[in-house]
Each structure stands twice: as structure tokens, then as C-alpha cells.
Structure 1
Amino acid sequence: MKENKYDDAVFFEKYSAMPRSVGGLEAAGEWQTFRSLLPVLDGKRVLDLGCGFGWHCRYAREQGAASVTGIDLSGNMLQRARAMTSDPQIEYLQMPIEDISFGAGEFDTVISSLAIHYVERFGDLCRRVNHCLKSGGQFVLSVEHPIFTALAAQDWHYSHSGEKLHWPVDAYHLEGARTARFLGEDVVKYHRTLSTYLNVLLDSGFTLARISELQPTPEMLEQNPAWHEEVRRPMFLLLSVFKA
């Protein structure tokens, strides 16, 4: 399934008002950890899967990347990305990220931020990424954590008085589609276990470099009290792998 909620006018308007949509990378809570997993980008050919407004594409060029290709299914996303970008070395292409078919070794680095949990065939995508990466190239991705995606409700269990008691986890090993509520709309995401993420990457020819479940730092907790919820359960999973 290749759902494209972001080209729905109402949904896109709500998404555009989110802090990370307005403030960019620094407004994304997982950005500092994601950035720490990236290799040196100077002189690199970079592919961004699910590029959205192009924040990561522009960052890569700021770090000296030789060229950047951003892929997204949404025409609305790419229209905004192009309006925010004035750099001939950044190219935006509209297509499902699982349909990429670039040449062997065409890129030095592939990144994907919070997009792959919308992809049904993770193994197929990993094999395509491995093919278009050069030997030793790095793939850095973030997704919603499997503890977060296991139940479609993606919400706390509350007491009668409204207190957040705990985060429920059920049907963890039953992988597949979940219809979740996001920005007041039904959105299809794909749940897979932590072991599936890791084993599929390994089976696709990657070697694990680093894994993060984004434990909030004292600075994050001080700056934003909402991060205290992330101490109770992980929301993000970040992985850095390289092509052997």
C-alpha cells in the first residue's frame, strides 16, 4: 500500500503547522541524535528517502555534500521543498521510496527520517538501498519505535481521573499494517519488531554501526517537560548501518 495522506489538503495544512514543519531540524526532538549518527558528508553523494520539506537535503549541502537527491511520494511536500531550496545540487523526485531504482554504488550516504514505518516491504527497500550505496557507504534511518507502533491506538492507558498510568504493548509479534490516528486523521503505518528491523538490515548486506532508542538527555528534559514521557517509553528508533 502506498498511501499519500500528505496530498490531502486538510491533512497537509495540519502537518505544516507542526513545530518541526515550521522550525525545521532544530525543532525535531530526535534531530541531535540523528545528526550524531551521520558520517562526514563533505564531498558525499547523498540520497534522502522521504525528504518532506527538504530539511535534511539542505543540511547535507551545508555540510559540503557534493549532491543530494530527495525522494518523496507527496507532491505537496516536494512543492514546499522546492520553494525553500535554491541549490542546483539538490534534486527532488516524486515517487514512492520503495520504488527507487538507482544504479549500483550511485550514493555514498542514504538517510531516511521517520518515513520507513509507512513502507510495507522493508526488506525490498533495504536491498534497493544496499544496491545503490557504494561499498562502505552508510545508511542512517529513524522510525517510530516498535513499542510505539505495536498498538494502533498509540496512546497511554489512563486512570479514571485521566492520569497516564502506562504505555500498553500488545500484539507485538503480529507485524503488519496499523491504522493509527495522526493529526486527527486515519493513517496506515507498518509495525515490525526490533529484531525484524535489525535482521532484515543484516540479511540485506549491512553491518550495524550504532543503535539508539533516544533516551532524553538532562538538557532535553530541562528544555521541554514533555520529554519526560519519553523516559517512560521509547518513541523513536534510530539505526546506523554501513554496506560491508
Structure 2
Amino acid sequence: MKENKYDDPGFFENYSQMARSVEGLNAAGEWEVFRSLLPPLQDKRVLDIGCGFGWHCRYVMEQQAASVIGMDLSEKMLEQARLRNNGPGITYLREAMEDIDFPPGSFDVVLSSLALHYTGHYDLICRKVHNSLSAGGHFVFSTEHPVFTAMETQDWYYGTAGQRLHWPVDHYQDEGRRVARFLDTDVVKYHRTVATLINGLLDAGFIITRVEEPKPSPAVLEKYPEMKDETRRPIFILIAAQKPSAV
């Protein structure tokens, strides 16, 4: 079984109290930008890798997609997804992202929100996603930004009075496993550079169509003022890519 902290009761309880867990996509500071990267979804077959509570699956079906499969390794996540965001056209599947094995051309759109930093097999997943997409299909994902994942501490440098002075970046070129502290738990994540993120897609055969490093919008900051420091450095990177159309 792959690394899966989300089925740990204590960790899951803390995760369930996060704003994005309680209120859904509108509480996610990056959602407005992520949504802008998605292609029109009407009548599309969609795969959501690392679907969590299923908020994206719900959104996809609200856009009149033909169907969506939400896959996640965590049974606790899927249990909540089935309770909160189920409905016609939505199928939830317990499976690790590394084990994607759908027939060629199964989907028109593949999306993934904040899941790929949990895998050490990014290149493999890019290839598998490319294979599972129809010609001209889209792959849109967010992951923790390399500036954020470079150091295991994933924390600010503080002044003597406890003020946040700056965000330290070191060992950026040293890619690989990190043990970060998240929600009072040691969680395994994987750091990779921006170049690796881009080149993994290019090597799999994708065309890069957009790259974003979003910050919370004024509306989000007004509702969640605790996010104000997220404007000082990128925490997420969002990439939109497309499988070339058949010649």
C-alpha cells in the first residue's frame, strides 16, 4: 500500500477541520485560477486524481460533464466524498495514483488538485495520464510549489519577536523525498524542481498551455485574512497541458 496518512484518525480529523474541507472549493485560495485552466466540461469524460472529499467531482458534473471518476487512496476521504458530493455520473474508486491503468483514450479531461507532491513517480503518472486521454485531451493539475517543498521545515524564518521575516529556500536542486510537518503529523512529500514538473509533461508527449503561481484573490483575503502571507511566496503551482490532436 502506498503512503496514506489521510486514513490516520488524528490526521484526518485535523484535515476535516480545514476551511477547504468544510466549505469546499470557494475556500481554496487557488480555485479561481484552477477553474480558469479547465476546458469546457460539457459532455466530457473526466478523471479526478486524488479526489479527496469530491468537491471537484461535484463541480465537474455541475458543468454537465458526461461522467467523472474520482480516485483516491484514502477510504476515509472517499467515504466523505460519497456523503457530501455524490450524484448521477460520479463514480468513486479507491486506488493509488501510481496504479492508474485505464484503456487508451478513456478520458477527455484529467485533473488533479494537490495530490502529485505525494508521489515519487511523477514521470510515470504523466505517461499514464497521457495514455488515458483522448486525442486533444487536457491535463490540469495543482501541486505544492517547489519553493514551498524545497525544505522539509516548510515554514517561515522568524524574527526575535516571532514575526515572519521571509520564506527560506535551500537544497532546491536536491530533488526527492521530504518529511514535512503538516497538521501536527509527519507526512512524506516529494520535492521536484519547476524544470522537472515541466519536462515530465513534455517527455510524456504533452503540450504545455499555461503555468500559474496563484495567490489568494482580494475576495478570498477579505473572507480569510489569515491567508495574507500567502501573497509573499507561491505555495502552489498550477499547470495546464494538452495531448496533441490526432494528425
TM-score category by the smaller chain?
over 0.9
Which amino acid counterpart does residue 17 of structure 2 have in structure 1?
A
Q: Distance in 2 between matches of 1:78 and 1:120?
A: 22
Please give the alpha-carbon distance, in whole angstroms, between the structure 2 residues aligned to 1:217 and 1:232: 13
Report the counterpart of residue 18 of structure 2 in structure 1. Answer: 18
- Distance in 1 (CA, whole Å) between partners of 2:42 and 2:138 is 14
* CA RMSD, 1 decimal: 1.2
Partner residue of 2:164? 164
Q: Distance in 2 between matches of 1:178 and 1:135?
A: 36
Question: How far does residue 219 in structure 1 lie from its aligned partner after superposition?
Answer: 3.9
Residue 80 of structure 1 and its aligned partner are, at CA, apart by 1.0
| Amino acid corresponding to residue 71 of structure 1 in structure 2 | M
- How far, CA to CA, are the matches of 1:111 and 1:233 in structure 2? 24
2: CA distance between counterparts of 1:72 and 1:215? 26
- What is the 5 A alignment of 1:65-76? 65-76=65-76
Deviation track 1:189-230 (CA, whole Å, cap 9, x = no partner) reads: 000000100011111110011110003444444443333312
The reply on whether 1:55 has 2:55 as its aligned counterpart is yes
Are 1:137 and 2:137 counterparts?
Answer: yes
Residue 189 of structure 1 aligns to a residue whose secondary structure is strand
Query: Equivalent residue of 2:238, what SS?
Result: strand
Tell me the TM-score normalized by structure 1: 0.97
1:238 matched residue in structure 2: 238
Match of 2:228 in 1: 228
Q: How far apart, in 2, do the equivalents of 1:152 and 1:36 lie?
A: 31
User: 1:97 maps to what in 2?
Assistant: 97
Give ranges in structure 1 of 5+ residues lacking alignment.
Answer: none
Match in the other structure for 1:149: 149
Change beyond 3 A, Cα 1:95–1:209: same
Report the 3-state secondary structure (helix = DSSP H, G, I; strand = E; otherwise coil) of the residue aligned with 1:160. coil
State the identity as a percent.
58
Runs of 4+ off more than 2 Å: 215-228
Aligned position for 1:215: 215
Alignment partner of 1:33: what SS? Answer: helix
Corresponding position: 1:190 with 2:190: yes
Distance in 1 of aligned mates of 2:218 and 2:54:
29
Distance 2:68 2:151 in 1: 36
Superposition deviation, residue 160 in structure 1:
1.1
For the Cα contact (< 8 Å) 2:57–2:85, is it kept in 1?
A: no
1:76-115 Cα deviation digits (max 9, x unpaired): 0111111224423111110101111000010000000000
Measured in 2, the distance between the counterparts of 1:52 and 1:202 equals: 27
Q: Take 1:101 and 1:77, find their aligned partners in 2: how far apart are those partners?
A: 21
Q: Secondary structure at the match of 1:102?
A: coil
Matched residues in 1 for 2:125 and 2:135: separation?
17
For 2:13, what is the secondary structure of its paired residue?
helix
Partner of 2:88 in structure 1? 88
Residues 19-40 of structure 1: CA deviation (Å, up to 9, x unaligned): 1100011111111111010000
TM-score by length of 2: 0.96
